[in-house]
Amino acid sequence: MERGTKGPGSRPPVSGRSVTIRDVARELELSITTVSRALNGYPDVGERTRKRVAEVAQRLGYRPNRNAQRLVTRRTHNIAWVQQDNDRKFVDPHFVEVMAGVLRGARASNYDIVLASETPEHEMSVYDRFVNDNSVDGFIVDLPRENDRRVSFLLEAGRPFVVHGRDGRTAQYGWVDIDNYGNFYNLARLLIANGHRHIAFVNGDEAFTYALYRRRAVADAVADGGLPQDSVRVYNSLHPMGDAGYKLTTLALSDPLVTAILYSSTLMAVEGHAAVVRSGRRQVAVATMDDGLHYLDLSPFAGQFTRVCSSLREAGGAVIAELIRQCNEPGPGRGVEIASTFELAHGVDGTVLNQPIPSRRRQTQRRLQPA
Amino acid sequence: MERGTKGPGSRPPVSGRSVTIRDVARELELSITTVSRALNGYPDVGERTRKRVAEVAQRLGYRPNRNAQRLVTRRTHNIAWVQQDNDRKFVDPHFVEVMAGVLRGARASNYDIVLASETPEHEMSVYDRFVNDNSVDGFIVDLPRENDRRVSFLLEAGRPFVVHGRDGRTAQYGWVDIDNYGNFYNLARLLIANGHRHIAFVNGDEAFTYALYRRRAVADAVADGGLPQDSVRVYNSLHPMGDAGYKLTTLALSDPLVTAILYSSTLMAVEGHAAVVRSGRRQVAVATMDDGLHYLDLSPFAGQFTRVCSSLREAGGAVIAELIRQCNEPGPGRGVEIASTFELAHGVDGTVLNQPIPSRRRQTQRRLQPA
DNA sequence: GCAATTTGCCAAAACGTTTTAGTAGGATAT
DNA sequence: ATATCCTACTAAAACGTTTTGGCAAATTGC
C-alpha cells in the first residue's frame, strides 16, 4: 500500500479557499492581532483603524472560520437538542411548536441548534459525545421523566442545560414549564363544580412527568371535590397523538354515564370531537389543555372546548433564553413557570352554545384566576 | 480601562479540562502522530500498537476535539437546514415527518443537523454565513419555489445541497421528490372517470412548486378527460394546514353541484371531513395526498379517503443520504423520485362504505399502477 | 550477503483564530 | 526634567487535531 494513503473517510471537496484574517491584515498592513481586536470590539484599537478594518473585512468578504474560533475560545454558540428516536413515536408535532420558539430565540442571539436523534438504548452515548467533543455549549432536554437519566448525566457532567418540563429535582437545574398540576386541578374542579360526576380523562403517557403530574392533579381534584376516585376514568395514550383521540374517546363513551371528557391535548380533543359527534351523545362536555398549536385550526370548535391555554412557542423561547443566560453567566440554572390563561366555553357542554354561564360557574372561574 | 479587558462576550464557563490526544500519547509513550493514525485506521500502525492505543483511549475517555478536527480537515459532518420564519407559517407539521427521516439517516452516518431559522428578508444572509464560515458541509433546501433563490445561491457557491422538492432546474442539482404531477393527474382522472363533474381542489400555496405542479396536473387531467376547465374549482390555503381544511371545504360545499373534493394533504382532508359531515351532504367523494404523517390517525376515516400514499419520512432519509453522498464524492447531484402507491377507498364516496368497487374503477386502478 | 522493500513509528508544519504579554511613543503630573 | 500613565499597536503562544515527509529497523529477494 502506498505511503500517504488515507485510512477511512475521503478527501474534502476543496472548493475555493476562503479569505482569512491574514488576508485582511495584509491588505491593511496591520497585524492580525489588531484586525482581530478591531473586529471583536476591544477598546485598544484606534477609531480610525477600527473603521478601516471593518471596511476592508466587509469588502473582502471576510468571515471568521468558526472552527478556529471555537477551538481557541472553547465556545461554540451551538446548543444540542437530542430527540429520542422511538420508531413509533419519533417526534411529536408539539415539538415543532416548541422548536419554532427555540429557533427564533437562538437566531436572535446568534446561536444555532444542533439536532440529533438516537434510539433509547444509545441515547446517552449521544449526550456523552456532545459533552466530551466540544461541539456544543449546552443542552435542551425535552419531555422529562421522573429522575430523568439525561438530567442526572448533565448534572454530573456540569454542563449548561435547560429542561422543558421538570422532574422532582427542580432546585438543581434550570427548567421552563407550565403549571401542569395547577391547570389540571382547576379544569377538573371546574367540571365537578358544574355537576359532572363521571369524567373521562384522556391523558398522555404517564411515564413523562407532564402527564403524571396532570393525573395526580385530577385525582386530587376529585378527592377535594368530595367524589369517589372512580368518578374519573383515565385513558392513556402512549403516543400523545395518533389513535388516542378517536379510539380512546369511543372507548370512554362506551360508559353511558360519562358526561365530560378532559383531554391532555387539543390534537386529541379535535379527533375525539369526531367520535363524540358520531356517538350521537349531545350532552358531553369537553375540556382540554391548549398548547397553542399554530397549525391546528380550532375555529370549527369555537365555544365548544373549555381550555387552559399556554403557548408552547413561548415556552421554547424561554428555554433558549435561559440556556443562553446560563452559558454566559456561570452559576445555578433558574426555573421559569409559564403562565396559562383559562378560557371557558360558552357552555361547558360541547353542543349547547350560547347558554348563559350560571353564576356559580363565574364564581368558580374567578376563583381559578386570582388576578 | 484595564489592559486585557475583553470587549463584548464573556469568558467561557471553564469546566474540567478534557483529555487530549497528547494525554493518550504520553500515557503510551508514543507520538501523537501514531495515536492519531492508529485511531483513524491508517495502515502504517502495528496491530499490537493499534490495540493498545484503542484500549488506552477508551480507558482515558478520550474524545477528539471536534473543532480541532474540523479546523484541520475542513469537514464538519454538519448539515445546515434553514427554516423560514414566517410568523404566520413558521413551521409545518409535515416538517416533523421529514425531519424524522433526516435525523435518523444523519445519525446513522455520524452527521448532525444544524437547524436555524430566519425571516424571509434575512434568510439569505444565513446561507451566506454558513457558506463562508466553515461550519457546515452542505445544505438541505425545503419547499422550493420556482427559480428558488436559495438554489441559485448554492449553485453559485458550489456547495453540496439537496432540495426536497424541485424547481425547473432539476438537471443542475440533487433533489428528492415524489411525482406531484403524476399523482394528482391520476387522482383527478380517477374522479372524472367515476362520473364526478364538479370537483373542488383544496390545494396548498402555489407559490411552492409542489402545489403549482399539482394544480397543473389537475388542469391537464380535466382537459384530457374532456371536461371544461371550470369543472374544477381550486381553493388555495397559503398555509397547508390551519383553517384550510374546514373553512375551504365549507366554502367549496356552498356550490351544490360539487360531488368530489381533492385535498393536498390528509391534515386538510381530516378537517374537511368534519365540514362534509356537518353539511349533511352524503354523496361527496374525498381524495387526498397521504404523506404518511405519523402522528395523524386516519383510522376513523378508514375506507373513506382515496389516497396516493408516500412517506415523507422516507423522503427525508433519501435527502440526507444523497447529501452525504455528495459530500463524499464530489460531482453533480442526483435526483431521486420517491415512489407512491395508490389506495382506493372502498367507495370513493366518503359515506357509503363497503360498496363493491365497479369494474371500471378497478381497471382505472390498474392503469394507474403499471406494475 | 547485500540491495531493495516493507514495517512501524515520529518531528514538525499546518489549520485560522484569540489571547497574552508586551513595546514604542506621546501626553500628563510633579 | 523626569516619572507615570495612557494610546495604539504587535510578536508569539496557544487551542488540539491531521498530514507531510522522512527515518531507522526488520524483512524480503536474489
CB B181 within 8 A of CB B195: no
Closest CA to A213 of A112, A144, A137: A144
Instruction: Check A92 against B90: CB less than 8 A apart.
Output: no
Residue B108 phi, psi (nearest 5):
-60, -30
Give dist(CA B311, CA B164) in Å, integer: 13
**Which nucleotide is closest to B34, CA to C1'?**
C9
Q: B93: pLDDT confidence band, cut at 50, 70 and 90?
A: confident
Question: Which of A128-132, A276-280, B89-93, B105-109 has the weakest average pLDDT?
Answer: B89-93
Average pLDDT over residues B92-120: 93
Distance A76 CA to C12 C1' (A): 29
Q: How many CB atoms lie within 10 A of CB B146?
A: 14
Closest CA to B188 of B16, B20, B368, B68: B368
Closest CA to A334 of A170, A181, A145: A170
Give CA angle at B257 (B256, B261), nearest 5°: 95
Rg (CA), chain A: 27
Rounded to the nearest angstrom, the gap between the alpha carbon of residue B341 and the centroid of all alpha carbons in its chain is 18
CB A81 within 8 A of CB A115: yes
Question: Which of A275-284, B16-25, B45-54, B354-363 has the weakest average pLDDT?
Answer: B354-363
B157 contacts on A by Cβ (under 8 Å): 15
pLDDT of residue A275: 84
Q: B212: pLDDT confidence band, cut at 50, 70 and 90?
A: very high
Give dist(CA B302, CA B306) in Å, integer: 10
- DSSP secondary structure string for all residues of A253-322: HTSTT--EEEES-HHHHHHHHHHHHHHT----EEEEEE---TT---GGGTTTEEEEE--HHHHHHHHHHH
Grid coordinates of A286: 369537553
Grid coordinates of A362: 363565574
pLDDT of residue A350: 45
pLDDT of residue B2: 33
Q: Which residues contact B35 (CB under 8 A, 6 or more apart)?
A: B21, B24, B25, B28, B53, B57
Between strands A112-118 and B112-118, the pairing is: antiparallel
Q: Average pLDDT by consecutive 10-residue portion of chain A (371 residues)?
A: 35 58 94 95 91 95 96 96 79 87 94 94 95 96 95 95 95 96 90 89 94 95 91 86 77 92 90 82 87 83 87 97 94 94 67 33 33 31
H-helix or E-strand containing B346?
A: none
Give dist(CA B111, CA B113) in Å, integer: 7
Q: How many CB atoms lie within 10 A of CB B147?
A: 11
Q: How many CB pairs under 8 A join A and B?
A: 223
Grid coordinates of A184: 389540571
**Which nucleotide is closest to B69, CA to C1'?**
D17
pLDDT of residue A347: 53
Distance A46 CA to C25 C1' (A): 15
Helix axes B266-279, A266-279, angle to 10 degrees: 30
Instruction: Check A8 against B267: CB less than 8 A apart.
Output: no
Instruction: Check B295 against A239: CB less than 8 A apart.
Output: yes
Q: B85: pLDDT confidence band, cut at 50, 70 and 90?
A: confident
Whether the CB of A70 is below 8 Å from some CB of chain B: the reply is yes
Grid coordinates of B100: 424524522
CB A271 within 8 A of CB A207: no
A13 contacts on B by Cβ (under 8 Å): 160, 327, 330
CB B168 within 8 A of CB B146: yes
| Nucleotides, chain C, CB distance < 7 Å | 7-12, 14-22
Q: What whole-number percentage of chain B has pLDDT above 90?
A: 65
Whether the CB of B83 is below 8 Å from some CB of chain A: the reply is yes
Say which residue the cell 375525539 belongs to. A272
Sheet holding A232-236, edge to edge: A232-236, A199-203, A260-263, A285-290, A305-309, A341-343
pLDDT of residue B277: 79
> Which residue stretches of chain A are H helix?
21-28, 32-39, 47-60, 66-73, 93-108, 123-132, 149-157, 180-193, 209-224, 249-253, 266-279, 312-328, 359-368
Residue A205 phi, psi (nearest 5):
-80, 115
pLDDT of residue B181: 94
Distance B44 CA to D20 C1' (A): 14
Q: B90: pLDDT confidence band, cut at 50, 70 and 90?
A: low
Whether B311 shows a pLDDT value over 70: the answer reads: yes
Grid coordinates of B191: 374522479
Grid coordinates of A234: 383515565
Sheet holding A335-338, edge to edge: A335-338, A174-178, A161-164, A138-142, A78-84, A112-118, B112-118, B78-84, B138-142, B161-164, B174-178, B335-338
Q: Identify the residue with better confidence: B97 or B352.
A: B97
Q: Identify the residue with better confidence: A164 or B349.
A: A164
In tens, the pLDDT along B33-42 reads 999 999 999 9
- DSSP secondary structure string for all residues of B153-216: HHHHHT--EEEES--TTGGGSEEEEE-HHHHHHHHHHHHHHTT--SEEEEE--TTBHHHHHHHH
Q: How many CB atoms lie within 10 A of CB B30?
A: 17
